[in-house]
Every structure is written in structure tokens, then in C-alpha cells.
Structure 1
């Protein structure tokens, strides 16, 4: 499956393109800015892009008004097609953000309910009690998403709702050539709907990819042969940041072993999950990780651990931002991408990830774990790669049985000799392709 060998890049277009926070209906073709990012993405060795919400919404994209119309703050449907065509021609596989659990108050069917109440043909598209009320004093109650009354839950058991959503997905596939969907709050989306969506998408494209957002719980609830092929690996994302901040690499080593080890009790060694350090809902990696010297270690780990790596726009050059006060602070506008030493490392890691199938399909085991050093192995029938990181602010020498005399260090493309111990510079990251006999 193509996604297993991909390097993903996530873009939040409303933020990146500098759209105003409120949708006043004015059409401005901001999305065309994304074409200017293609040389950067190609240099970064990215080959799959996730676009966060694109369609007409009240404010932030997750409060949809119309699934068939590009948000006017970004432009027109023709603008979106122009961008998607350019990305596909440049070798990028595209995913849209599927926000199917809830809509905004401006959603056309909900507006009809506000106007006609019980007489609306769409009243059963939502979970409504005409004997109640809401904080907006609508004169009736509706079920919101997790207490947020600006987000109205859709009734995904209603045949007309399901048909409407599947028709929109068909349109996205046919018009924009997408090959997958990121499914917002998939952890709470109706399971029968996920099955319908899965069957519908694969009937149109057998290689279609469904990535479910799972911020907690067992990933197998939605990652199975009937629903999604993958999920967001929040356990390792949070565990990685925590391990680096507490200077305790046992924490991330435990999560990796728990999920992907070869022991019978390992949870997900047959799954391919999405690996990341940050995204549009988390503080930027350069803010969340207290010591920015650890950023190269974080990206080295997510690019070499089991799963598919994903970089959130701007974080490849250590852009900062916190979700403590406002999610908009991590969805900032960027006029021009920047290239730094960190970007250079991530580009090299992406190149390595795509070049060596063992990093996509190989087994995992921890080799050496200390508070500030970690070595783990990826192995298949033909190759063996060891990944080593050192978060000490001083050089260290590590002694272990490598099972061979030398290795090619892939980041620097140099030969490493294991004789007499292996030295690691402060905050070093090594990707060793072990010699074969």
C-alpha cells in the first residue's frame, strides 16, 4: 500500500495562507499560495500532503457550512482544483480532512432548521429536542460536539445524511484526485458510518487511504479491515515529547516496545500508524520540547520508528507556538518556507525513510536504553538499521555488541567503526546501516 512508503506533510490552509478568522464571504484566492510551496516540499522529499479543512466554514474549518464549496477566504473551487492538479503533477498524493462528525451553525441544513423548526425537512439530520434550548437561545436543543455549541453533531444514522456525505467524498475524489482522508475525531464517529465510508471509498479507488484521528483509546477500535487503515499515534507523540523534557528515554522506549515489539503482548506491530511530533492541535515541537537541541532527536525517532512520519508545516525549521491560549497560535500564516540545519536533517531523514524499505516494513526492538541514550533496531530479511540518539550535552562512549564491525551512517554517509566503543557527540542522532556478511 502506497501510504506505508510515504513521507507526509500536514498543512492548515486557513492559517498558513493568512485567512481572516471570521468568514465574511469575501472571495480571496489565497489558496494559490500553496503552489509556491512545491519546490520546498520536493526538496524536503515529501510525497504525501494532508490538507486540513478546506471547505466553507464559520471560522476555523471544523465548523463546516458547505462540503462542496471551497471556503471563500481561500478562493474558489477552480482555485482548489488548480492547486490539487499542481500538487499531483509534482508527485504529491493528497488527503483532505473529512469532518463528518459535526458541522457549524452556518451549515445550510441547520440554517433551514433554524428557519422552519419542526417543518424543516432536515430536522432529523441532527439530534434535536424541540422542548429544550441552547446557549444561543435557539428555542430548541441540539447535541453539540463535546459541549461546544458552535459545533452541531450530525445524525450519522440518517440515510440522507450518509448519502450526502458520501456524495461529497465522491466529488472530492473525482474533481480533486484525492487518494485519502484524514477523519476528524474518528475516535467518536459512528462505527457503522465508518464502515459505509470505507466500503464507498474503496469501491471508487481500491488504494484509497483512511487515516483516523485517535487521541486516546485502543487504535484497533477503528483501524481494521472494515474502517481505517491507520490512526494518529498520539501515545508516541506525547511520550516522545515527555521523554525528551524529562530526560528519560525509557518513556518513549517503553511506548515503542509496547506497541511494536516482537513479544506476543505487543499491541500494534501489524499496524502502520502516523508518527508525528506536533500538529494543528498541539503546541509546536519547538515550544513543547524545552531544549531545542533535542529537536533533531525527535525527528530522527519519528522518521525511523515503525509507522509513517508526518511533518507539520513550519515545524521543519522550528517555528514556535503554543495551544495554551488559542489554537490559532499554532496555525500561523507563513509567507515563505525557510530552510535551516533542522530542515536539512529532516530532508535527509525523509530521503532515508523512502530509500530503505526496512524502515517501512521491518521489525522493531530496543537494543540499549539509558536515561539519555537510546538505540533501537529495524530489521528485515536483507538489512538491519540501528538508530542511536544521545541527549547528553557532552560526548558519550557506548559499548555494545553490534554484531558486525562497521556500518554506514546514513545521515552523513560515512563509515562508522564499532571497535573500541561508539562515540556519540552531544545531542547526536545516528542511523547506522549495519554491514552484512
Structure 2
């Protein structure tokens, strides 16, 4: 799992289960989860090595309001459909990650009506505690032994059935000593399991060491990549890379430029000439990259802060597989394949650090990515000017730079194996 490249997908949206069509939610008669299987060869061809699934357990609406951690959402199918997906993924050498919603449950969870072990968190007055103001989500009480048993049993249940990894949703809301108690018990039965914690702010390295997780989501770098490219301020990126180096001394963060909770990268970076630059950083920087499904087609979508504001970034995918996707620039897909392939040929990038920049201005960055004796140079240009390029073998670049030996083209990028 140390060199994984994830293809992250939101299953309920992928299969058209949310948003619910007029007349109510779709019935359980279709084996909708199996619609992912025709996409697995596409994942392999992209260069990814695993599929990271959003919530698949029984819930009321969007998957994060879980009502049963041990049952598949009937809108997706049943256990046999999960097992079929796991088997098809493993046949292709793909790992499978599940999304563990272990901070809260939905209001219709049976525990809300009958909670003999005090698993749900309550105020001093006895009222249930809502998760971050979302009344439909009720927080678990992580100080309770019964909560520890529930989470441990749920993780083991699905690892026993073939899952390889867990994403720990809203892990930042859960006390670190809870993870430190639960995860060793899970690893005792599944020593190869890998745990990614969703953490937005705070001390990432301390979360890993004290919580005993393998990695956390690198939201600091995500923010810096987007805003530094969009605002043409590469000093912000360079500063963030110093922080990223500090994390890499302790663990390999999960890096990403898009996910199911944020505006797509093709909408966040409005100049299409600069969108490849974000992908270059995802592919070349240290960490465990996660590509959000659909970004490889250049899909655009904006997250809105309103009811249903996530729908656009969690769309339905064609049931027949990627051949049914139309109306996109195939160069975007080929570039994803090229850069992820480049990363797989250089597995040392997983724990690579960045050196002091060779060149740094608001619109021009040239920086080395290094680990031991291994070294690659990444060059980004957001300006109308051309610049000298570090001598070496040109491993990948935009078309303009390829046609301009020794120079970095306007608005271009390059990856060089320096001499």
C-alpha cells in the first residue's frame, strides 16, 4: 500500500442513486454497485493502483448518515455485489478502500431510538449532539467501550470480506486515543490494512503518530496548489512545500487536487492552460496521490453551500463504462495516463522531498524533487515569457516546451531528469 495511487469515487452519485429522482429514491432491484466493474480497466489504464470508495453502507440520503455499518445500502445492492466488485478489482491488481463513517450516524439509526450502552453523545441535559450543526447527523460518544467495539467490529467485518483499506471520515472530530485503541486491534487481525484519516487543520504529524493512522489528507497542500496557480502566486506553493517536507519526515500524506467535497480542479483553475500544472504537482510530489474520478476527463463542477450543493461534483457516470463518456478533450485523459505512468516508473517519489527552488517568482517555479540519489526537476510557468530549462532528459512537458529545446514555453511545464 506504500506506493498506492487511488482513484477516488463517490458510489451513490456514480450509480445515480443521489440525488433522488422525482418520486423518491430508486428501489433496490438493480445491482447498481456492479456498475463500477466496467470502469476497473479504465482505472488500471490510468495508472492508478486502487479504488477509494465513498460510503456504501445503508444510509438515509448521501451515505454519511449511516443507519447500519454492517449492511450495504440497498440503493447499491447487497453483500454479493460488494464481493463481486472486490473480486473484480483484486483480479486486476487493484486495492479497495472503504469510507468509514465512525464519527456520527444518521437520525434514523436504531441507536437513536434505543441506545442501552450510551454509544451516542449527549449534552448534560440529555440531548443528542449534532455533528457540526447538521441536525440529521448524531455524534458517537467515543469515550464508551461499546463505541470502540462497534467501530472495531465494523472495520473487521469488511476487511474480512476483502477490503484493503479504510478512509476515516471526519477523523479530526474523534479523540486521538480512540484511534490509538481501535486501530491496533484491527491490525492484529489484518496487519496489511492501511488507514487514511480525514484531517483538515491541525498538526498532521502528531495525528499520525498519536492516532496510529498511516496517513492524513493533505488539505494544506491542496489549498496551496489551487490558489497559487489560480492567483499566480507560486511563493504560496513554495512555502507550503516546506511544510510538506516536514510531514514527509514522519509519514506520506494523501495528496489530491479534487475530491467529493470540493469544487473540481477544472473549475477552480479558470485558465485551462494552467490546469495541467496541478496534475504535474499531484504526480510528482511526495505522498500518496488520490485522483478524483472524472477529473481525468476535465469535468467542471462547482460546490455550492446550499442543500444539494454537492450534487454537481458527485455526478452519475455512464453504466457502460468509460467508452460511453463523450464531449471531453482526450488530451486531458492522455496527460493523466502519461503523468501517473511517470510516477509509477519512479516509485521513490512516494517519500520524496523538495529542495530549495532553483528559480522562484510569482509566475515561475523550478524545483527539484529528491530522495537520496534520485532527483527530478519540475518546472512551472504561469507567464507569457519563456525561461531557460535545467539541462537534462525531458521526461514530460507541454507541447510548446517539447518544441522549444532547452526552454520552458509560456504557460508551460516540464519534468526533467537533470544531468
TM-score by length of 1: 0.86
**Rounded Cα–Cα distance in structure 2 between residues aligned with 1:360 and 1:101:** 29
Indicate the residue corresponding to 1:127 in structure 2.
121
User: Which residue of structure 2 aligns with residue 171 of structure 1?
Assistant: 157
Q: Is 1:409 aligned to 2:394, yes or no? A: yes
Q: Name the structure 1 match of 2:285.
A: 305
SS at match of 1:286: helix
Partner residue, 1:193: 178
Regions of 4+ moved over 4 Å:
22-25, 129-132
Measured after TM superposition, the shift of residue 217 of structure 1 is 1.2
Give matches, 1:278-297, under 5 Å. 278-297=258-277
2:199 paired with 1:208? no
Structure number with greater Rg is 1
Question: Aligned to 1:301, what secondary structure does the other structure show?
Answer: helix
Q: Which residue of 2 aligns with 1:356?
A: 346
Counterparts of residues 38-437 of structure 1 (less than 5 Å): 38-110=40-112, 112-113=113-114, 121-122=116-117, 124-128=118-122, 141-175=127-161, 177-224=162-209, 226-260=211-245, 266=246, 268-324=248-304, 325=306, 326-335=309-318, 336-337=321-322, 338=325, 340-365=330-355, 366-392=357-383, 394-398=384-388, 402=390, 406-411=391-396, 422-435=406-419
Change (3 A) 1:86 1:217: same
- Whether 1:21 and 2:19 are equivalent positions in the alignment is yes
Inter-CA distance 24–246: structure 2 relative to 1 (3 Å threshold)? closer
Paired residue secondary structure (1:360): helix
Number of aligned residue pairs: give it: 402
**Secondary structure in 1 aligned to 2:266?**
helix
Distance across 2 between alignment mates of 1:50 and 1:322:
22
Question: In the aligned structure 1, how far is the partner of 2:108 from the partner of 2:255?
Answer: 34
Give, in whole Å, the separation in 2 of the partners of 1:432 and 1:129: 58
Distance 1:310 1:425, change over 3 A: same
CA distance in 2 between counterparts of 1:217 and 1:363 reads 21
- CA–CA distance in 1 between the matches of 2:163 and 2:231? 40
Unpaired runs of at least 5, structure 2: none
**CA drift at 1:370:** 1.4
TM-score (norm 2): 0.90
- Shift of the alpha carbon at 1:412? 6.1
Aligned counterparts of 1:55 and 1:421: Cα–Cα separation in 2: 53
1:229-260 CA deviation, whole Å, 9 max, x = no partner? Answer: 11100011011111111111111111002331
Contact 1:100 1:154 (C-alpha < 8 Å) held by counterparts: yes
The alignment yields a C-alpha RMSD, in angstroms, of 2.3
The whole-number CA distance in structure 1 between the counterparts of 2:264 and 2:416 is: 29
Look up the SS of the partner of 1:409 in the other structure.
Answer: strand
**Cα shift readout 1:158-206 (whole Å, capped 9, x = no counterpart):** 112211221111110011x122111111111122220122202221222
What is the DSSP-based 3-state SS (H/G/I as helix, E as strand, rest coil) of the residue aligned with 1:68?
Answer: strand
Residues 383, 434 of structure 1: 8 Å contact kept: no
C-alpha displacement at 1:45, in angstroms? 0.8
Per-residue deviation at 1:397? 2.0
Distance 1:355 1:282, change over 3 A: same
Structure 1 gaps of 5+ residues are 114-119, 133-140, 261-265
> Which stretch has the larger CA shift, 316-325 or 144-153?
316-325
1:321 is paired with a residue whose SS is coil
Tell whether the 8 Å contact from 2:172 to 2:199 is kept in structure 1 after alignment. yes
Contact 2:32 2:75 in 1 (8 A): yes
Residues in 1 aligned to 2:169 and 2:95: alpha-carbon distance in whole angstroms: 19
Measure, in 1, the Cα distance between the counterparts of 2:78 and 2:243: 46
